[in-house]
Amino acid sequence: MLVLEYKVKAKSTQYLAIDEAIRTVQFIRNKSIRYWMDAAREDKIDRFALNKYSTKLRHEFAFVKELNAMAVQAAAERGWLSISRFYDNCKKNRPGKKGYPRFVRSNRSVEYKTSGWSLHPIKRRITFTDKKGIGELKLLGKWDIHTYPVAAIKRVRLVRRADGYYCQFCVDVECRDIQPKTGKELGLDVGLESFYTDSNGHHEPNPKFLRKSEPSIKHAQRLIYKKQKGSNNRRKARIKYSRKHLRVSRQRNEHAKGLARQLCKSNDLVAYEDLKVSNMQKNHCLAKSIADASWYLFRMWIDYFAAKFGKLAVAVPPHYTSQTCSQCKRRVKKSLSVRTHTCQCGCTLHRDTNAAINILLKARSRDGQSRSNANGVGTSTLLGESLVEQVLTLKLESPRL
């Protein structure tokens, strides 16, 4: 799957219609969760039962009937996504909270399937034909959606962000660009001092986008509370604050995407640690720095570009990669404050360089798990702000890549 994203240009009345459609989706999703909560003890509720319930909502509420029938089904499927995730966590005995379904307060997207919209045959315009009154929207962007057949477009989604409205097309095409072999292999050790250190000794600087923007973000946040509640000035201050966070999120994504693309294009094998980032963020002293580094996002883009370019991405267990000597395999215990690896065999390396070499050696011996076929997020219906979780495998690349 490939996701093409355009910015939407429309009239103020059309933006209001999009907001109304988004609120309707939130209503359907929350009503589906409530229906499951009330009926779960008596009847077995599955995805098809929620689809039938969404049809009942169309007959009961006029504003729900104004939304396209398939869009109503997609909204009910969002509720089922959270329910099925909760069931899976219970079956797997996941430690801690199991993610009991919650009601959504700030939904930001509405999703249409194969009906309820039509593309202009020549111009970059899309018309939504349901009774919400969205009408014809102008699409701004560098992608050319007309190069793909209409039958290949499986989903159309309208997304509201801090800087405007966007339209996403989920196109069912194979995204492959096989690159020639280079004969090079690389091991990566991610960190906070450097974004990553490779087995060749290169230290990629950590950009620290959030840390650099934090003074401006905090200033924008303070301005919100100086405005009167419910006023238009407070709304504008919140939008300004949201845009700053959105900018940081995009900076992280573009940085991780560009580095992953370069590494996968110039190496036949890229090895990295199979880190449990969510567990590492439980350390309250380092949680913000770990989140700012966006290791998991970097790993996802490595998996994607490795599959796209026909290269191999291998995730290896992180155990003892920093403590083991890369030459003699002797265990050299050291604390996190010790940044130089010194062994009795005479090996003296930077701590992260030694770890990157061990990661590469583990990948060569195939102790890791091959991730060369990892193409995306294994979910079915929900949309995130940057990477979609609509179909089984979706990716959103930048036009410049």
What are the tens digits of pLDDT across the range 279-311?
A: 888 888 899 999 999 999 999 999 999 999 999
Residues 66 and 197 placed together within one structural domain of the fold? no
Residues 198 and 154 placed together within one structural domain of the fold? no
Can you give the pLDDT at residue 44?
80
Residues 139 and 256 placed together within one structural domain of the fold? no
Beta-ladder partners of 2: 171
- Residue 335's domain spans which residues? 185-370
The answer to whether residue 389 is domain-embedded is no
Can you give the pLDDT at residue 392?
34
Can you give the pLDDT at residue 220?
95
* CA dist., res. 294 & res. 393, Å (int): 21
Can you give the pLDDT at residue 263?
94
Which token pair is 168?
Answer: 């996403």
Residue 380: pLDDT band by 50, 70, 90 thresholds?
very low
* CA dist., res. 342 & res. 187, Å (int): 20
The answer to whether residue 342 is domain-embedded is yes
pLDDT at 79 over 50: yes
pLDDT in tens, 98-126: 889 999 999 999 999 999 999 998 889 99
Can you give the pLDDT at residue 396?
64
User: Pick from 43, 107, 112, 117: which is nearest to 79 by CA?
Assistant: 107
Most confident stretch, 228-237, 344-353, 361-370, 384-393: 228-237
SS3 111: strand
Which one of 116, 144, 171 terminates a domain?
Answer: 171
Which one of 143, 171, 199 terminates a domain?
Answer: 171
Spatial neighbors of 136 by CB under 8 A, at least 6 apart, are: 120, 125, 126, 127
pLDDT in tens, 178-213: 899 999 999 999 999 999 999 998 999 999 999 999
pLDDT at 400 over 80: no
pLDDT at 245 over 80: yes
Can you give the pLDDT at residue 303?
94
* CA dist., res. 368 & res. 380, Å (int): 28
* CA dist., res. 388 & res. 157, Å (int): 10
How are beta strands 117-119 and 125-128 bridged, if at all?
antiparallel
Residues 195 and 147 placed together within one structural domain of the fold? no
Residues 147 and 201 placed together within one structural domain of the fold? no
Q: Which percentage of the chain shows pLDDT scores above 90?
A: 65
Residues 242 and 330 placed together within one structural domain of the fold? yes
pLDDT in tens, 122-139: 889 999 999 999 999 999
Output the CA angle 155-157-162, nearest 5 degrees: 155
Q: What is the CATH number of the domain that holds 216?
A: 3.30.420
SS3 181: coil
Q: Which percentage of the chain shows pLDDT scores above 70?
A: 91
Can you give the pLDDT at residue 146?
87
Residues 238 and 270 placed together within one structural domain of the fold? yes
The answer to whether residue 384 is domain-embedded is no
Can you give the pLDDT at residue 154?
93
The answer to whether residue 392 is domain-embedded is no
- Give mean pLDDT, residues 258-280: 92
Residues 191 and 162 placed together within one structural domain of the fold? no
The answer to whether residue 180 is domain-embedded is no
The answer to whether residue 176 is domain-embedded is no
Residues 102 and 243 placed together within one structural domain of the fold? no
Residues 201 and 63 placed together within one structural domain of the fold? no
* Amino acid symbol at 123: K
The answer to whether residue 377 is domain-embedded is no
Residues 16 and 130 placed together within one structural domain of the fold? yes
Residues 153 and 271 placed together within one structural domain of the fold? no
The tally of domains found in the chain comes to: 2
The answer to whether residue 17 is domain-embedded is yes
The overall average pLDDT reported for the chain is 87
CA atoms within 13 A on the CB side of 128: 31
